[in-house]
């Protein structure tokens, strides 16, 4: 579950608040604060200007220019500065409705996910019962399921002609399907399924971090368990809960596949941007993009402010860690077990359905509950046909390029951050790196397409849009913050005394870096790289806006098979994608195990 | 000429000064201690000697050479860290060999010197062990072996024994001292444990709030602390507030305690005499306070007292006394002669009373 943990670490912005961070700096208000201390000595006379050059150029080309260009374009019409685009947006009822709907859906998603995730975290983190470990692991599963694949699986399972609907229809002898997978209900159900793990994992991590002695102290002072929960445990959990809420909110704002495939008449902002681009209404798409970006970044900044004011000096955590209590009573134990089974079934069902559907003969599965005939033809087709294998080749190579570039880049950034003396500059760097992470994929794709879709200031007559490289570039920009955070987190965990000890033994900066910092931080960085790779593999939101035949990725193939009602082939693509992801995850877990075994 | 000379170094972190104008001399072959409560700047001073921190001002001279701005790796000092800082991804051999390999020593020499270093810390044959599977005491020895393997010009210790339990700490302490003496090394040792510093060091600097209060041999520090802070920090002590009375004799100062108003006479050098009628502080160690039931041989500085508390501590006992409001502690070997609320005579031998500078 390395990747899952890592993915959730990303939420704890702007600082991962490790215990050592408090110990070392006494304060904890800066990203890069500790990493600075760690590498400071290990890379003192570094080739600084090379790093500076690389970092400035990439930030300029990848983050600053496209975003500024998008904002500028949204403020212009026919070459003149004007607010007309925004006025148009405000005067269109549909656009306004999309903004409000997006926010509404996101808030509802946050509440729903909190309602599911927090109790589950308490159950799995605080108590032991048969099967707990299996359930606890499965509970985080949806985090690594590509959203598009999840959507497809949901359609097969819960759609109006899906397996569940047919089972109910058969059982009750209904004329028509009992429900349709459309609109708010469907959207929220899917969001809850894919995003509740943010709450589950972060609450769990928060619970593990809380000093169990505090709750015991509360009990000894005469507080009842409920009082302890509300006055002691929950207040300490707030940072985790806020982080989870923010992550859920932003993911939900950026959600695209689900509204596209079964949002029905629920109009959300990402969808509107896509539609505006399809219509050719470039300026409306840009303006809506800016609005979406502002909402997402606003949420992030709000969160950062909150983080700045709220600090628990829980530095000294000595004494017994909170133990997990076994549930002794037979009936409660059974209940917990049943909840576990139910959750696991619900979590695993979509994946199982997808597997089943991938073996269905295309066009044969019409009104039956389960596919009537099974075949390997789908797999044979997608893996042997040239267009099929090309799609996999594209996705694998583009994701690998992006992930490796991100790995290299994160070393540059973290190293450079250590040499920057001024706090303002360090914060600026941290913020610029966060921006593409905080922005929805739609926004990143639109702004890059806008900036490099025509001869531009920075690239001259070279047009990036329409080439193979547009997607690797976007994948890199979107997912490099994950790798930077992962590397930074593992750098933070290195005891600052280790590079110092190496220095006192006569090792110069290169020897310290290669023989101490790199072996210790490497596994974490590689796990981060694999996470970026896995997420890039299933990327759909940004890809659908700018892909060309030359770099058609798997997600686009799935969507087009779906449109042609080749359900079996769509499912087969999804299954192969999941297998690749599962293998990558196993590798990452191995890496993590090796690194913690030290 | 001293081997290491620290000349007025200062260091600030953000706005808080950590070390202020610290000056020290360490002689060749000396075991030098930096002693003080936590946050007194002793570790910062050590890190500046090691080159891990750069002083804001002042110079550090080693063997006649200014090393103030030299990088840690260029200094060739061995350092033993508080948490040992053993590289978790390397085994014992690789840890101890780290410094030698950084110097690109030949393979045979590396093996030989690692074996020798492990021999010295009494862990021969541990080369292939993983550092994670060693006990705290063993990790400690490996950290020392790693530091001495590079044949350091100076050996630096940052509270190396504070993570060990009491018995192991005392055992390791004497071994450490013996090892450093045998190898003829010069060492600077940081600790907050007064007993440890006394047992190990030839000379000790007592630091508080970033300032050197006194640099002396352990015995001199104990018996003649320079100021109230040093006297308080080094073990139990009776601190008596007193006022100097006018006295014609210059050899013996005459004082009257503020509590109890007892007259005390003690030898004071003429130059050290405090101004008249100004409060000053006298100190006497509990083991020098004499107690008796009847008459004593000493006739000076004797006054009656009442036993208020008896703390039994095995071989010795601490008896707390009240002499008309002057509270004193006495360390005695046998406490069974006294019972609570007994009246007795207490004597403060003049030669044992020290006049402290505030």
Read off the pLDDT of residues A10-45 as tens digits, 9 standing for 90 and up.
Answer: 444 333 333 333 322 333 333 344 344 444 444 444
* pLDDT confidence of residue A18: 34
Report the alpha-carbon distance of residue B43 to residue B49 in Å, rounded: 10
Report the alpha-carbon distance of residue A80 to residue A292 in Å, rounded: 23
Q: Which of A44, A504, A598 sits opposite B79 (nearest CB)?
A: A504
For chain B, say whether A41 makes contact (Cβ under 8 Å).
Answer: yes
DSSP per residue, A249-266: HHHHHH--HHHHHH-TT-
Choose, out of A501, A503, A509, the residue to mutate when testing the contact with B (most B CBs < 10 Å): A501
- Name which of A101-110, A169-178, B152-161, B280-289 the model is least confident about: A169-178
Cα dist from B259 to A34, B323, B327, whole Å: 53, 9, 8
Nearest to A250 by CA among A46, A440, A403: A440
Residue pair B279/B242 in contact by the 8 Å Cβ criterion? yes
Q: Which residue has the higher pLDDT, A48 or B84?
A: B84
Q: Which of A497, A508, A520 sits opposite B73 (nearest CB)?
A: A508
Contact (CB<8Å) B52/A500: yes
Report the alpha-carbon distance of residue A271 to residue A255 in Å, rounded: 9
Q: Which of A498, A506, A519 sits opposite B85 (nearest CB)?
A: A498
Average pLDDT over chain A, rounded to an integer: 78
User: Is the peptide bond prior to B244 cis by the omega test (within 30 degrees of 0)?
Assistant: no
Helix axes A163-172, A147-158, angle to 10 degrees: 10
Which ranges of A494-563 does DSSP label H, i.e. alpha helix? Answer: 497-504, 509-512, 518-537, 543-546, 554-563
Nearest to B153 by CA among A44, A503, A497, A504: A504
The percent of residues above 70 in pLDDT, for chain A, comes to 83
The whole-number average pLDDT for the span A522-546 is: 86
Q: Measured between CA atoms, how close is A1 to chain B, in angstroms? A: 22
Q: How far apart are the first and last CA of chain B?
A: 32
Give the 3-state DSSP-derived string for A193-220, with helices as H, strands as E and coil as C. HHHHHHHHHHHHHHHHHCCHHHHHHHHH
Q: Measured between CA atoms, how close is A503 to chain B, in angstroms? A: 5
Q: Which helix (H) or strand (E) holds B265?
A: strand B263-267
Furthest CA-CA distance within chain B? 77
Q: Measured between CA atoms, how close is B85 to chain A, in angstroms? A: 5
For chain B, say whether A280 makes contact (Cβ under 8 Å).
Answer: no
Q: Count the alpha carbons within 13 Å of B259 in the hemisphere toward its beta carbon.
A: 15
Helix axes A330-358, A147-158, angle to 10 degrees: 100
Dihedral, A248, A250, A251, A257 alpha carbons, nearest 10: 140
Nearest to A337 by CA among A138, A125, A124: A124
Tens digit of pLDDT for each residue in A441-473? 888 888 888 888 877 777 777 777 888 888 999
Residue pair B77/B154 in contact by the 8 Å Cβ criterion? yes
Which ranges of chain B does DSSP label H, i.e. alpha helix? Answer: 42-50, 72-75, 92-102, 107-120, 136-149, 166-182, 194-200, 218-223, 228-233
Q: Measured between CA atoms, how close is B185 to chain A, in angstroms? A: 16
Contact (CB<8Å) A511/B87: no
Name the 3-class secondary structure at A49.
helix
Report the alpha-carbon distance of residue B185 to residue A124 in Å, rounded: 56
C-alpha angle A404-A407-A411 in degrees, rounded to nearest 5: 145
Contact (CB<8Å) B146/A505: yes
Nearest to A192 by CA among A234, A150, A223: A150
**Cβ-Cβ contacts under 8 Å, B157 against chain A:** none
Q: Which of B52, B71, B99 sits opposite A505 (nearest CB)?
A: B99
* pLDDT confidence of residue A20: 32
For chain B, say whether A507 makes contact (Cβ under 8 Å).
Answer: yes
Q: Which domains does chain B have, with CATH numbers?
A: 4-232 (3.40.50.300), 236-356 (2.40.50.140)
Tens digit of pLDDT for each residue in B185-243? 999 999 998 889 999 999 999 998 899 999 999 988 888 888 888 888 888 888 888 88
DSSP per residue, A71-117: HHHHTEETTEE-SHHHHHHHH-HHHHHHHHHHHHHHHHHHHHHHHHH
Q: Which helix (H) or strand (E) holds A153?
A: helix A147-158
Kindly provide the ipTM of the predicted complex, given to two decimals: 0.72
The percent of residues above 90 in pLDDT, for chain B, comes to 28
Query: Residue B90's closest chain A neighbor by CA?
Result: A598
- What would the two tokens of residue A84 be? 């007309």
Q: Which domains does chain A have, with CATH numbers?
A: 1-74+383-598 (1.10.3720.10), 76-313+325-363 (1.10.3720.10)
* pLDDT confidence of residue B6: 93
Residue pair B83/B43 in contact by the 8 Å Cβ criterion? no
> Which pTM was predicted?
0.73
Q: Which of B85, B88, B147 sits opposite A500 (nearest CB)?
A: B85
Q: Which helix (H) or strand (E) holds A403?
A: helix A386-419
**Cβ-Cβ contacts under 8 Å, B50 against chain A:** 500, 504
**Unique residue bearing structure tokens 């308080």:** B232
Tens digit of pLDDT for each residue in A291-327? 888 888 888 888 777 655 544 434 333 344 445 667 6
Choose, out of A504, A508, A522, the residue to mutate when testing the contact with B (most B CBs < 10 Å): A504
The whole-number average pLDDT for the span A114-130 is: 84
Tens digit of pLDDT for each residue in B34-83? 999 888 889 999 999 988 888 999 999 999 899 998 888 888 888 998 88
* pLDDT confidence of residue A1: 41
**Cβ-Cβ contacts under 8 Å, A44 against chain B:** 71
Nearest to A36 by CA among A560, A409, A366, A427: A427
Cα dist from A462 to A68, A334, A452, A465, whole Å: 19, 65, 8, 9
CB pairs under 8 A between A and B: 71
Contact (CB<8Å) B102/A519: no
Q: Measured between CA atoms, how close is A14 to chain B, in angstroms? A: 22
Residue A595 has pLDDT above 70, yes or no: no
Contact (CB<8Å) B81/A511: no
Q: Return the number of other C-beta atoms located less than 10 Å from residue A586's C-beta.
A: 11
Q: Measured between CA atoms, how close is A595 to chain B, in angstroms? A: 8
Name the 3-class secondary structure at B39.
coil
Using 50, 70 and 90 to split pLDDT, how confident is the model at A366?
low
Report the alpha-carbon distance of residue A138 to residue A340 in Å, rounded: 10
Contact (CB<8Å) B88/A598: yes
Using 50, 70 and 90 to split pLDDT, how confident is the model at A109?
very high
Using 50, 70 and 90 to split pLDDT, how confident is the model at A8?
very low
DSSP per residue, B272-285: GPPPTT-EEEEEE-
Name the 3-class secondary structure at A439.
coil
Contact (CB<8Å) A598/B132: yes
Report the alpha-carbon distance of residue A215 to residue A192 in Å, rounded: 31
Which ranges of A310-385 does DSSP label H, i.e. alpha helix? Answer: 330-358, 377-384
* pLDDT confidence of residue A307: 59
Strand B263-267, strand B302-313: pairing: unpaired
Tens digit of pLDDT for each residue in A324-356? 667 667 777 888 888 888 888 888 888 888 888
- What would the two tokens of residue B122 be? 């009494």
Query: Residue B99's closest chain A neighbor by CA?
Result: A505
Contact (CB<8Å) B98/A508: no
For chain B, say whether A502 makes contact (Cβ under 8 Å).
Answer: yes
**Cβ-Cβ contacts under 8 Å, A497 against chain B:** 81-83, 85
């Amino acid at each position: 579950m390395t990747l899952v943990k890592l993915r959730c670490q990303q939420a704890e912005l702007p600082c991962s608040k490790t215990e050592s961070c408090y110990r070392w700096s006494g304060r904890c208000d800066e990203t890069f604060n500790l990493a600075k201390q760690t590498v400071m000595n290990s890379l003192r006379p570094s080739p600084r200007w090379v790093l500076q050059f690389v970092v400035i150029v990439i930030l300029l080309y990848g983050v600053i220019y496209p975003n500024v260009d998008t904002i500028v374009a949204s403020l212009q019409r026919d070459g003149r500065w004007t607010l007309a685009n925004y006025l148009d947006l405000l005067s269109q009822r549909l656009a306004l409705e999309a903004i409000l709907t997006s926010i509404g859906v996101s808030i509802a998603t946050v509440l729903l996910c909190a309602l599911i995730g927090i109790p589950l975290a308490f159950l799995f983190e605080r108590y032991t019962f048969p099967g707990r470990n299996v359930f606890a692991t499965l509970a985080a599963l949806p985090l690594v399921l590509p959203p598009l694949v999840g959507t497809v699986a949901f359609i097969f399972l819960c759609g109006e002609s899906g397996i569940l609907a047919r089972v109910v229809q058969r059982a009750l002898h209904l004329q028509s399907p009992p429900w349709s997978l459309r609109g708010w209900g469907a959207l929220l159900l899917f969001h809850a399924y894919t995003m509740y793990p943010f709450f589950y994992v972060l609450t769990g991590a928060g619970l593990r971090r809380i000093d169990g002695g505090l709750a015991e102290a509360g009990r000894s002072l005469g507080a009842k368990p409920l009082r302890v929960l509300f006055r002691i445990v929950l207040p300490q959990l707030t940072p985790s809960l806020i982080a989870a809420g923010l992550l859920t909110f932003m993911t939900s704002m950026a959600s695209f596949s689900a509204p596209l495939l079964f949002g029905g008449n629920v109009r959300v902002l990402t969808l509107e941007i896509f539609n505006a681009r399809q219509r050719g209404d470039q300026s409306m798409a840009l303006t809506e993009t800016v609005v979406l970006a502002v909402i997402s970044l606003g949420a992030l900044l709000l969160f950062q402010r909150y983080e700045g004011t709220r600090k628990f000096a829980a530095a000294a955590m000595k004494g017994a860690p909170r133990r997990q209590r076994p549930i002794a009573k037979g009936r409660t134990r059974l209940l917990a077990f049943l909840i576990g089974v139910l959750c696991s079934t619900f979590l695993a069902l979509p994946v199982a359905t997808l597997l089943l559907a991938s073996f269905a003969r295309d066009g044969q599965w019409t009104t039956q509950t389960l596919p009537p005939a099974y075949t390997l033809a789908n797999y044979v087709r997608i893996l042997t046909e040239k267009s099929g294998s090309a799609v996999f080749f594209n996705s694998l190579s583009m994701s690998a390029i992006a992930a490796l570039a991100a790995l290299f880049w994160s070393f540059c950034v973290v190293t450079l951050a250590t040499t920057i003396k001024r706090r303002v500059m360090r914060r600026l760097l941290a913020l610029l790196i966060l921006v593409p992470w905080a922005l929805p994929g739609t926004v990143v794709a639109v702004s890059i397409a806008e900036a490099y879709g025509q001869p531009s200031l920075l690239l001259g007559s070279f047009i990036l849009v329409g080439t193979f490289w547009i997607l690797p570039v976007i994948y890199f920009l979107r997912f490099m913050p994950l790798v930077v955070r992962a590397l930074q987190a593992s750098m933070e965990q290195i005891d600052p005394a280790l590079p110092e000890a190496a220095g006192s033994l006569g090792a110069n900066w290169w020897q310290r870096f290669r023989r101490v910092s790199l072996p210790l931080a490497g596994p974490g960085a590689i796990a981060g790289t694999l996470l970026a790779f896995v997420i890039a593999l299933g990327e759909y939101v940004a890809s659908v806006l700018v892909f060309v035949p030359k770099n058609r990725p798997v997600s686009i193939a799935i969507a087009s098979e779906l449109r042609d009602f080749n359900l079996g082939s769509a499912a087969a693509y999804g299954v192969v994608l999941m297998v690749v992801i599962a293998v990558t995850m196993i590798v990452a877990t191995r890496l993590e195990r090796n690194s913690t075994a030290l | 000429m001293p081997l290491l000379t620290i000349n007025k170094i200062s260091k600030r972190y953000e706005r808080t000064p950590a070390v202020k104008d610290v000056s020290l001399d360490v002689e060749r072959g000396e075991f030098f201690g930096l002693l003080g409560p936590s946050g007194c700047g002793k570790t910062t001073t050590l890190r500046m000697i090691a080159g891990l921190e750069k002083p804001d001002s002042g110079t550090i001279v080693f063997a006649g050479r200014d090393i103030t701005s030299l990088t840690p790796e260029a200094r060739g000092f061995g350092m033993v860290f508080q948490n040992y800082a053993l590289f978790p991804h390397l085994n014992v051999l690789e840890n101890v060999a780290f410094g030698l390999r950084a110097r690109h020593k030949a393979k045979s020499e590396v093996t030989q010197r690692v074996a020798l270093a492990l021999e010295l810390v009494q862990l021969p044959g541990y080369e292939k062990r993983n550092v994670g599977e060693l006990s705290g005491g063993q990790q400690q020895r490996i950290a020392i072996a790693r530091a001495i393997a590079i044949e350091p010009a100076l050996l630096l210790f940052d509270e190396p024994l504070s993570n060990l339990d009491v018995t192991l700490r005392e055992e390791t302490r004497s071994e450490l001292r013996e090892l450093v003496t045998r190898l003829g090394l010069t060492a600077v040792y940081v600790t907050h444990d007064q007993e440890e510093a006394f047992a190990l060091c030839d000379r000790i600097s007592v630091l508080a709030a970033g300032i050197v209060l006194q640099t002396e041999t352990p015995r001199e520090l104990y018996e003649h602390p320079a100021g109230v802070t040093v006297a308080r920090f080094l073990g139990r002590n009776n601190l008596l507030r007193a006022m100097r009375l006018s006295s014609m004799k210059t050899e013996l100062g005459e004082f009257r305690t503020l509590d109890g108003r007892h007259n005390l006479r003690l030898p004071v050098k003429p130059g050290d005499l405090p101004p008249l009628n100004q409060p000053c502080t006298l100190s006497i160690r509990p083991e020098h306070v004499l107690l008796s039931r009847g008459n004593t041989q000493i006739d000076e500085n004797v006054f009656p007292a009442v036993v208020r508390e008896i703390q039994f501590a095995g071989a010795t006992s601490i008896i707390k006394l009240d002499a008309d409001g002057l509270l004193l502690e006495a360390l005695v070997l046998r406490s069974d002669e006294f019972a609570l609320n007994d009246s007795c005579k207490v004597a403060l031998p003049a030669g044992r009373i020290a006049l402290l500078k505030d």
